[in-house]
A and B are shown apart, each in its own frame.
Chain A
């Protein structure tokens, strides 16, 4: 990354000066200590709840509730076994289904539309940008009220289909927009060669554009999946039993169960697994996709 390399040179305050006075050097050391202190404090704030959830998920109920908290304990996979035996795995299947269906739909419908828009000039693109921004302004329950009424009438409440459809209301515009900005930046020469050879626009897309776009498609797919996996209010209102997603399960356990903390923590830990995998495997894509969506 170009910016990555430049960042080293861009350090405004902490750069070593060749002939710094002793006083300046000590001030610099203090500043550095302050910066590290702040960063480490904030990191502790970020990591503490996550580590605590993971630890709690490996405790017995008695250990989890013990105060002062037991830092050293015999880990047990009881809570995770309960996940399988208590029949609460279904929400994980539902979330997977909704997430992957969203990826497939958003890409299959979004890629051609985004590509065509990227090769158009002027007004349509601006209107689409506004459209996308306006979907971000829409309160989630502004979307859920009409979709709920519709699904009720159609008798589709508590189905995976209704959740999938509801999630597309934010994933589809997001995917189209990200892909459009990406295709705009691709060099046109790539596809022009194909077009001159007599290929159609579809052919150019398939043989010239898509092969080089794989990293971006992966990034968009991940963002779509995570958005769907984490979404709560739409799934919460549309489902009651059969089609509950993972966040709905977490919320219902947090609200009603006689506080089986290890089980709750195990569910929460399970809810974080895809996210954790994605961050460590494809962190670069995620960062790029997220900031791309916000800044450009």
Chain B
């Protein structure tokens, strides 16, 4: 039929440019990455040879890989957990009919669009034990003399703090949207039955919010695994390797040692890990519900 052919042709002309470009900027690098991960490939030597699983083997046998694994786990857990709790608390509070609600909501979305690099720099500046108003003035005033960027645990706490500052707004916005979708009559009914705040939270809000929270946590975990900017600006992974997550390690391997093959292998492993973590999160939460 002429009409059918014409429609299909039109559809193709609409789809083709966008999807071809999409394949070009996502599929192609993905396939090329897999290829690079099995090749011996350094940016300075012109010889590229097939290396099989060598890159993966070297990586999995190196201490720095497992150290980075622990650091990443710690960073992701702290950052996701705290931003989830804070985001939920903020959303619950600002879902109430409070004075100044609109202004507070607007101000809370600010960090979301501040470049993470700026957030990292701002906190580094504030916490600096040489010139920072917190690190060099307020803390000593309280009798605490520490160098936040010089101590392994404090450095981790500092990057987590900056990351929470930067990312809690996202958790807040998603959770708030989820809360607003809960029909009000449920709460009215619960109140008539004499349910207090905590009972309402446990019996109505959290169960109905579960789907939204799962999505928020998944996105947040993926984001935290890949966090580079805040950590890089504040500590570059230091002191030592105290804040060197996979992203920082990958940057070091790929772009300071210029072993692109091994960096590609690390990226592949991270990707596999991210898919695995997402699946576990989805399955766990389904079973639990």
Query: B33–A146 contact, CB under 8 A?
Result: yes
Which candidate, A73-81, A130-138, A213-221, is the interface stretch facing chain B?
A: A130-138
Residue B257 is within 8 A (CB to CB) of chain A in the complex? no
Digitize A216-254: 1 where CB-to-B-CB distance is under 8 Å, 0 elsewhere: 000000000010011011001100000000110011001
Task: Indicate which residue in B109, B116, B274 contacts A139 across the interface (CB closer than 8 Å).
Answer: B274
Q: A50 to B112, Cβ gap below 8 A?
A: no
Q: Does B250 lie within 8 Å of A14, measured CB to CB?
A: no
Query: Which residues of chain B are near A49, meaning CB under 8 Å?
Result: 119, 122-123, 126, 165
Cα distance A254–B117 in the bound complex, in angstroms: 10
CA distance A272 to B131 in the complex (A): 22
Which of A10, A11, A286 makes the CB contact (< 8 A) with B109?
Answer: A286
Q: Which candidate, A82-90, A169-177, A185-193, is the interface stretch facing chain B?
A: A169-177
What sequence of 0s and 1s flags, for each residue 11-29 of chain B, a beta carbon within 8 Å of any chain A beta carbon? 1011101110110011011
Within 8 Å CB of A246, what residues of B?
Answer: 115
Answer whether residue B104 sits at the interface, using C-beta atoms and an 8 A cutoff: yes
| Tier of interface size on chain A | 35 or more
B216 CB-CB contact with A under 8 Å = yes
Q: Which residues of B contact A68 (CB under 8 A)?
A: 137
Contact of B251 with A141 in the complex, beta carbons under 8 Å: yes
For residue A205, which residues in chain B have a CB less than 8 angstroms away from its CB? 14
Does chain A have a CB within 8 A of B38?
A: no
Does any Cβ of A come within 8 Å of B41's Cβ?
Answer: yes
Q: A7-B97, A233-B229, A254-B124 are in contact. Are A149 and B36 (CB under 8 A)?
A: yes
| Count, A-B residue pairs, CB within 8 A | 307
Known: A115-B14, A261-B131. A150 touches B115 (CB 8 A): no
Give the Cβ gap from A153 to chain B, nearest Cβ, in Å.
Answer: 10
Closest to A109 in B: B18
B17 A113 Cβ-Cβ under 8 A: yes
Bound Cα distance from A280 to B178, whole angstroms: 23
Stretch touching chain A among B56-64, B73-81, B150-158, B195-203: B195-203
**Which secondary structure characterizes the binding site on chain A?**
helix
Docked CA distance A113–B19 (Å)? 7
Are A52's CB and B107's CB within 8 A?
no
Say whether B147 faces chain A, with CB atoms less than 8 Å apart: no
Q: A52-B133, A65-B131, A149-B41 are in contact. Are A232 and B232 (CB under 8 A)?
A: yes
Q: Given A139-B267, A295-B178: A56 and B36 within 8 A (CB)?
A: no
CB <8 Å contact, B115 and A271: yes
> Is B110 a contact of A279 with CB atoms below 8 Å?
yes
> Which residue of B has the minimal Cβ distance to A143?
B29
Q: Are B113 and A275 in contact (CB under 8 A)?
A: yes
Q: Are A230 and B25 in contact (CB under 8 A)?
A: no
Q: In whole Å, how far is B169's beta carbon from the nearest beta carbon of chain A?
A: 8
In the bound complex, do residue B122 and residue A11 qualify as a contact, i.e. CB atoms below 8 Å apart? no
B114 touching A275 by the CB < 8 A rule? yes
Q: How many angstroms from the CA of A56 to the CA of B126 in the assembled complex?
A: 11
**In contact, B113 and A226 (Cβ under 8 angstroms):** yes
Inter-chain contact B122/A50, CB cutoff 8 Å: yes
What CA separation (Å) do A140 and B230 show in the bound complex?
14
A152 within 8 A of B: yes
Of B98, B183, B264, which one neighbours A145 at CB under 8 angstroms?
A: B264
B280 in contact (CB, < 8 A): no
Residue from the list A52, A110, A237, A264 in contact with B255, Cβ < 8 A:
A237
Residue of A116, A137, A149, A268 near B118 (CB, 8 A) is A268
A265 CB to closest chain B CB (Å) equals 8
Interface residue B243 (Cβ < 8 Å from any Cβ of A): no
With contacts A11-B96, A169-B29 taken as known, whether A109 is within 8 angstroms of B21 at the C-beta atoms is yes
Q: Please report the C-alpha to C-alpha distance between residue A261 and residue B126 in the assembled complex, in whole angstroms.
A: 11
Using CB atoms, name the residue of chain A closest to B234. A254
Q: Quick check: A113 and B233 within 8 Å, CB to CB?
A: no
Q: A259 to chain B: closest CB distance in Å?
A: 7
Contact B121 A250 (CB under 8 A): yes
| 92-121 of chain A: CB within 8 A of chain B | 105, 109-110, 112-117, 119-120
Q: Which residues of A contact B25 (CB under 8 A)?
A: 165, 168-169, 172
Query: What are 28 A-B interface contacts by the 8 Å CB criterion?
Result: A8-B97, A10-B95, A11-B96, A12-B190, A15-B191, A43-B108, A67-B131, A109-B18, A134-B275, A139-B270, A141-B267, A145-B33, A146-B30, A152-B43, A169-B29, A172-B21, A201-B10, A202-B14, A226-B113, A230-B116, A247-B229, A250-B118, A251-B229, A254-B124, A261-B131, A271-B118, A279-B109, A279-B110
Which residues of A approach B to under 8 Å, CB–CB?
3-4, 6-15, 31, 35-36, 38-39, 42-43, 45-50, 52-53, 56, 64-65, 67-69, 105, 109-110, 112-117, 119-120, 131, 134-150, 152, 165, 168-169, 172-173, 176, 200-202, 205, 226, 229-230, 232-233, 236-237, 246-247, 250-251, 254-255, 259, 261, 264-265, 268, 271-272, 275-276, 278-280, 283, 286-287, 290-291, 294-295
Give 4 new A-B contacts, CB below 8 A, not counting A13-B197, A49-B123: A6-B184, A8-B97, A145-B33, A254-B121
Going nearest first, the 5 A-B pairs with the smallest beta carbon separation are: A113-B18, A142-B267, A3-B180, A13-B197, A275-B113
